[in-house]
Amino acid sequence: MRKFLPLMIIIVLAASCHVNDNKVEEEALLKRMPFNERVFLLNSVAGESRIYELDYDFQGLGSEAVLNRLETESPIPNGGHMTMSPDNEWITIVVSKQSKIYLVNVNSGEVRELILFDYNPDGMYYDEHYNNRMFTGKITQVDVDEDGFLFIAGQAGFFKVVADNGNGLADPSYVNVGADIWSDEDPTLCSAGNASLGACGQVWVHAVPFKFSGDAYVETTEDGEDYFDDLTEFNSKKVKFQGGDILFTQNGTETDGFEAQRLISFSQWKNNTAIALDLTWDWANKEISFTASKVFGASSSHSFAKQKSGKVTGAALTGDNYVFTSHHKKGFLNLWNLHGDLITKVDFTINDPIAGDKFKDNKTVHFWGDMTSTQSFDKNSLNPSGSSSNEIPGAYSQYWDFSSADAHQYAEIKLYRPGSGMSADPNNISEDEYNSTNESRANAANADIADYNKNGSKFVSLGKGNGYAMMRFEEAVAVEDNTVLQVVETSWNRNANYSSLASAYSAYPEKVDVYVLKSELPRYYTSGLESTVDHNWVLVGQAGIANNLFSLGDVSALDGATFQWVMLVDAYSTTPDGFDINFVSVFESPETTDAP
């Protein structure tokens, strides 16, 4: 077996865990969203709700961002709370005091209005328009669940919003539980009999109230963006949807079965503790049951509780089930993992072509509002139907593919910090043979996909100049005599294997140091984890182009050790974009042979 050494930085996050009745349960692997998703902030002040898109380094988890205003074709009233439509096309802003939902197209700024009515189980009667009651409940939290329903909550209670409620029982378009409010149309609103209502072209949607079954209930208070701060014992059957925001985590359909969906609410804070809910909906009886658990820290000594960052006004899900939060009267956002560890504080500046570098109230701090994200997910679109989402078969499968070996795992990338070769403009690589599109060379999510083609397109470039990446395996690896770490680099029109590191570097000058993190098994990346001084990183060798196999059983420093994290550091490459990570894997191997 050929042995190469050091490739640096690849980290993978593992299972979600939550607390139910003080019992920690390890769930399935958190499958990360791609880094190029879109995140939006709503700032609601001075009579208007304005939308800003976050320009942020999702791949490097940076500490600065720019808020670019999304210009809308008409103003959105003050007091909105927002989420994203299931197709990622429409920012959905609920302004309950006006009984309206505003849909804003994320690309064009087009604005559509939906009129929000109370739900009538017997259907809506358009010919008796004055009998139809508009919804006026106080709402502060909105999101869309995995079934595509808009979910709203606040002092008024818990509601699912449904599309066309029908013109009584005689209306053929009568639909009691339709989820799609974003493309709903009702031809009866344009009929001659309804012309006097001026209703043609309108879309009416309806808030279906749900009660809590058994001893589960919602405690409500006066509407507003304030919080209670009592320190009473946590009650898993008592939930307060007051101010703040809610968000749904990823679900199994979106993540190829890796993740079960939960709802996180930032409104019940017991000494700065948010809660997570596992919800069960009963349509027939209009009831919800749930189990609640603490997230983001369970005590005043936790890092989340220690961050005196102000009241949460909005929350948005981002890569690795990280959560962005916005804060009242603050000029920054916070990025957390689901354990409540602060990944980074993100200071923002404002770019508004109309209002300049300030919000409408002439301030640079966020007021009341909300956050949302497109929440697209990692999917391997190049695979044939039914094949693995982690693999793309190709000519080099026979040389690189050890997926059938014992204890085989692919690593998942957790932090990508490219060097100087990628920082200026990753889409402008001069050499013609490079695939320089944003979805390949600069998209770190491609390191999660094993592309077995000779000239594969699924790779991420480290950019030389000490660029690095960190990855993590789903399961901890106990180093045995036959444990092999595999690091595969993609350079087009090169061999599948080389006889030595020197010959590989001669064929193409790309090379990295490869480290594994000994006996430290954190689930999430936290600031400074990459430090080889403060953490127990073991250099196992260097990797060049193509296939690199490291026999970890021969590394004395790893004798009897366990690891999950890998780090690849590019301190040697001289090519424009540096070392190109195709994938990283680990397995227990019998004797293997190298191919030319």
CB 276 within 8 A of CB 262: yes
pLDDT band at 275 (very low <50, low <70, confident <90, very high): low
Q: Which amino acid is at 334?
A: N
315/281 Cα distance (integer angstroms):
23
User: Given a cut of 60, is residue 263 above it in pLDDT?
Assistant: yes
pLDDT at 427: 41
pLDDT at 187: 61
CB 76 within 8 A of CB 104: yes
pLDDT at 413: 85
pLDDT at 287: 83
pLDDT at 168: 43
* CA-closest candidate to residue 144, choices 204, 102, 97, 82: 82
Count other Cβ atoms within 10 Å, centred on residue 21.
7
User: Given a cut of 80, is residue 216 above it in pLDDT?
Assistant: no
User: Given a cut of 90, is residue 344 above it in pLDDT?
Assistant: no
pLDDT band at 510 (very low <50, low <70, confident <90, very high): very high
User: Given a cut of 80, is residue 39 above it in pLDDT?
Assistant: yes
pLDDT at 237: 54
Cα distances (angstroms) measured from residue 469 to each of 41, 401, 409, 464: 29, 22, 18, 11
User: Given a cut of 50, is residue 555 above it in pLDDT?
Assistant: yes
**Average pLDDT over the chain, rounded to an integer:** 75
In degrees to the nearest 10, what's the CA dihedral of 281, 284, 287, 290? -30
Classify domain 9-15+380-588 at the CATH topology level: Jelly Rolls (2.60.120)
Domain ranges of the chain: 9-15+380-588, 70-212
* CA-closest candidate to residue 50, choices 353, 388, 455: 353
Strand, helix or coil for residue 24: strand
Tally of helices (H runs) and strands (E runs) in the chain: 4, 36
User: Given a cut of 80, is residue 366 above it in pLDDT?
Assistant: yes
The residue ranking higher by pLDDT, 37 or 373, is: 373
Q: Poorest-confidence range of 18-22, 391-395, 426-430, 576-580?
A: 18-22
pLDDT at 471: 94
The residue ranking higher by pLDDT, 407 or 293, is: 407
pLDDT at 235: 54
pLDDT band at 322 (very low <50, low <70, confident <90, very high): confident
pLDDT band at 24 (very low <50, low <70, confident <90, very high): very low
Summarize the chain as % helix, strand, coil (round to 5). Answer: 10, 40, 50
CB 439 within 8 A of CB 542: no
422/593 Cα distance (integer angstroms):
35
The residue ranking higher by pLDDT, 553 or 303, is: 553
pLDDT at 485: 98
CB 383 within 8 A of CB 391: yes
68/72 Cα distance (integer angstroms):
13
pLDDT tens per residue across span 538-549: 999 999 999 999
pLDDT at 254: 46
**What average pLDDT does range 549-553 have in this prediction?**
96
**Top mean-pLDDT range of 119-133, 155-169, 516-530:** 516-530
Our CA angle for 535, 13, 374, nearest 5°, is 130
Q: Poorest-confidence range of 264-273, 502-511, 552-561?
A: 264-273
pLDDT at 18: 24
pLDDT tens per residue across span 80-128: 888 999 888 999 999 988 999 999 999 999 999 998 988 877 666 655 5
pLDDT tens per residue across span 435-468: 344 446 777 778 888 999 998 888 888 988 899 9
pLDDT at 419: 86
Radius of gyration of the chain (CA): 26
Where b means 16+ CB within 10 Å and e means fewer, 410-420 reads: bbbbbbbbbbe
DSSP per position, 269-324:
-SSS-EEEEEEEEETTTTEEEEEEEEES-SSTTSHHHH-----EEEEEEEGGGEEE
Tokens representing 294 are 């603490």
Cα distances (angstroms) measured from residue 439 to each of 97, 122, 318, 408, 409: 42, 50, 17, 27, 24
pLDDT tens per residue across span 405-439: 999 999 988 888 888 777 544 444 434 333 344 44
Our CA angle for 311, 317, 321, nearest 5°, is 115
User: Given a cut of 50, is residue 6 above it in pLDDT?
Assistant: no
User: Given a cut of 70, is residue 352 above it in pLDDT?
Assistant: yes
* CA-closest candidate to residue 518, choices 532, 538, 539, 503: 538
* CA-closest candidate to residue 441, choices 576, 298, 269, 319: 576
pLDDT band at 57 (very low <50, low <70, confident <90, very high): confident
pLDDT at 354: 83
pLDDT tens per residue across span 136-150: 888 877 888 777 889
pLDDT band at 576 (very low <50, low <70, confident <90, very high): confident
The residue ranking higher by pLDDT, 447 or 20, is: 447
Residues contacting residue 219 through CB under 8 Å, at least 6 positions apart: 238, 239, 240
pLDDT at 429: 40
User: Given a cut of 60, is residue 167 above it in pLDDT?
Assistant: no
Tokens representing 32 are 């990360």
* CA-closest candidate to residue 445, choices 491, 513, 377, 382: 377
pLDDT band at 392 (very low <50, low <70, confident <90, very high): confident
Q: Poorest-confidence range of 29-43, 202-216, 408-422?
A: 29-43
**What average pLDDT does range 283-291 have in this prediction?**
76
Q: Would you give the distance in Å from CA 331 to the centre of its chain?
A: 22
pLDDT at 184: 76
CB 146 within 8 A of CB 247: no
User: Given a cut of 50, is residue 21 above it in pLDDT?
Assistant: no
* CA-closest candidate to residue 274, choices 251, 317, 245: 245
**What average pLDDT does range 168-174 have in this prediction?**
43
Tokens representing 45 are 């002040």
Phi first, then psi: what are they for 25, rounded to 5°?
-115, 125
User: Given a cut of 70, is residue 486 above it in pLDDT?
Assistant: yes
The residue ranking higher by pLDDT, 351 or 442, is: 351
Strand, helix or coil for residue 495: coil
pLDDT at 580: 93
